[in-house]
Amino acid sequence: MKILAEAHASASDPLLAVLCFEGEKPQLPSGVSVPARALEDFRGRFRQVLLCYPEGRTKVERVVLVGLGKREKVTAEEARRVSALALSVAKDRGARRFGIVVPPRLLEELEAEVAGRALAEGIGLGAYKFDKHKGSLNGGAGNGNGSTLPERATLYARGAEFERGVEHGVRNADAANFARELGDTPGNYATPTALAAAAKKLAGGRISVRVLEEKDMAKHGMGALLGVAQGSAEDAKLILLHYKPKRRAKEKIAVVGKGLTFDTGGISIKPAASMDEMKYDMCGGAAVLGLFHALREMDLPLEVIGLVPSTENMPGGKAYKPGDVLKACNGTTIEVLNTDAEGRLILCDAIAYAEKTYEPDVMVDLATLTGAVVVALGHEMTGVFGNDDATRDAVCDAGNRAGERCWPLPLWDVHKDQVKSEVADLKNINSPKDGGGSIAGAAFLAHFVRKAKWVHMDIAGTAWGGRERDYLHASGASGMGVRTLVQFLIDRAERQ
Ligand code: BES
Ligand code: MN
Ligand code: ZN
């Protein structure tokens, strides 16, 4: 679907959605009028939708009045939701083209760029569906549940800033949808090899992609990543992506994503209920790939390195066991006390490798790391840790502005002490007496960071399983992290 911005509302779209604040009058384009009764019934409450049939001679067959709610309370999130609502009406009606008339007041309340971006994101994200495995039972391969997407959506509002916002929003939505598709793809398709292949397709222009194989990992001494991988019949991969700017780079930023393509828990096996959801355990890695999808169309004066350690965590005769000691590529030894705490083991090798190979100024990792973060914060916000409060808060701020809510969590020296082992340097879990399972995961990773300002995002609650939001459905991957990372990098590039 094409999403465009145009200055003047044309009265030729067969379906025209008109956004309107509560208590205000819908601003219809000239030549379009709707029955007085429709205007009487429409209050403009947030998410109110009223479909009506315009009077007189016009090419507009249907007008949909969509409520934005109270003007003084509007945020980008409302904009994202109402544009997705307009899309869903257009989809239901089978409209091939539709337009959205944006009140100029919205551009004032949010800033034109923010408004354009949010509206485009709402349509772009709302258009996503994962139905490629649905076949003949639905009347044809990949036919999904029948409703077809419009070919074109036009956002009507004036100004270059708004237009730029729309472009930015389209790019964000495409990148996030790319990540969502990888997340939703079942574990038997989205193997480490398939993730590496998807990454390689992102190469070109200023982006290069390289994949370390198991034999390369062995040369580098990545015993922690290889320890997790040894129980799987799939080959592990360490995917490396590198964006080099045209201009001199202001900063070097490493982004690391957990790419565990299926987490059974290994020998410390998980219960059967909901184990299928562990296909999403690579959503951190997918977010990193999504970021590079967006970087292709950006021109940032930063050097960006993406690292995605990818493997499965399986039980079996070759699998690593509780009590085993592994050695990471920086020489740190790790006592494995629970094979289900595998995310930190694959990440620690990637983090240590990033430190010694690239010496980044800033490092951000994203991982579906702990069930405990879902207990602490639920599904609506990501828990964010770090070794530098200002950088951690900058990531949270970027996330909150991008519409991916983030919340800071503590990480102190006492927590780093909790993962010291009697047998090796570290152990991969803290004692059950200590509690604070998400902090322990972060504390373990902190031991592998040397010089970088480092931020860890535990996206276990937010990568999937959130509430219905019009542009994000309750089931399936959310693309969490992509928009946050894009915003964080833009902020870094603009920093003085
Ligand atoms: N991938 C899981 C974390 C997870 C659990 C994400 C539930 C989303 C929903 C991770 O590898 C894991 O199993 N973590 C363990 C850590 C524990 C053994 C210290 C957990 O959270 O139970
Ligand atoms: Mn696990
Ligand atoms: Zn896991």
Q: Where are the domains of the chain?
A: 2-135+150-177, 190-495
Catalytic residue, candidates 270, 401, 405, 420: 270
Q: What is the mean pLDDT of residues 417-425?
A: 98
Q: What is the mean pLDDT of residues 86-100?
A: 97
Tell me if residue 344 is catalytic.
yes
What per-residue confidence (pLDDT) applies to 9? 84
Q: How far apart are CA 373 and CA 383, in angstroms?
A: 7
Q: What is the mean pLDDT of residues 330-351?
A: 99
List the alpha helices (DSSP H) in 185-302.
Answer: 192-200, 214-220, 223-229, 283-295
Ligand 1 pocket test, candidate residues 270, 370, 382, 438, most atoms within 8 A of CB? 370
The answer to whether 2-135+150-177 and 190-495 have equal CATH topology is: no
Catalytic residue, candidates 171, 258, 279, 344: 344
Let me know the angle formed at the C-alpha of 96 by 119 and 102, rounded to the nearest 5 degrees.
25
Q: How far apart are CA 158 and CA 161, in angstroms?
A: 9
Nearest to 402 by CA among 465, 475, 329, 485: 485
Ligand 1 pocket test, candidate residues 310, 338, 340, most atoms within 8 A of CB? 340
Ordered DSSP codes for 46-71: TT-EEEE--BSS-S--EEEEEEEE-G
Residue-wise pLDDT for 69-90, tens only, equals 999 999 999 999 999 999 999 9
What per-residue confidence (pLDDT) applies to 171? 98
pLDDT of 18 higher than 70 = yes
pLDDT of 12 higher than 90 = no
Q: How far apart are CA 397 and CA 490, in angstroms?
A: 12
Q: What is the mean pLDDT of residues 110-115?
A: 98
pTM (predicted TM-score): 0.97
What per-residue confidence (pLDDT) applies to 137? 74
Q: What is the mean pLDDT of residues 451-476?
A: 97
Residue-wise pLDDT for 115-151, tens only, equals 999 999 999 999 999 999 998 776 555 555 557 899 9
What per-residue confidence (pLDDT) applies to 8? 87
Q: How far apart are CA 482 and CA 360, in angstroms?
A: 20
- Residue bearing the CA closest to ligand 1, atom 5: 371
Residue-wise pLDDT for 220-261, tens only, equals 999 999 999 999 999 999 999 999 999 999 999 999 999 999
Ordered DSSP codes for 95-114: -SEEEEEPPHHHHHHH-HHH
Nearest to 202 by CA among 326, 296, 108: 296
Domain 2-135+150-177: top CATH class: alpha beta
Average of per-residue pLDDT values in the chain: 96
pLDDT of 278 higher than 70 = yes
- Ligand 1 site residues, Cβ closer than 6 angstroms: 263, 281, 338, 340-343, 368-372, 374, 429, 437, 460
- Would you say the C-alpha torsion 438, 444, 446, 449 has a positive or negative sign? negative
Q: How far apart are CA 344 and CA 445, in angstroms?
A: 6
In angstroms, what is the span from residue 211 Cα to ligand 1's centroid? 26
Q: CATH number of the domain at 190-495, please? A: 3.40.630.10
Q: What is the mean pLDDT of residues 446-471?
A: 98
pLDDT tier at 10, thresholds 50, 70, 90: confident
In 10 A of CB 169, how many CB atoms? Answer: 31
- Residue bearing the CA closest to ligand 1, atom 22: 371
- Residue bearing the CA closest to ligand 1, atom 9: 371
Answer yes or no: are the C-beta atoms of 256 and 366 closer than 8 Å.
yes
What per-residue confidence (pLDDT) applies to 57? 86
pLDDT of 359 higher than 60 = yes
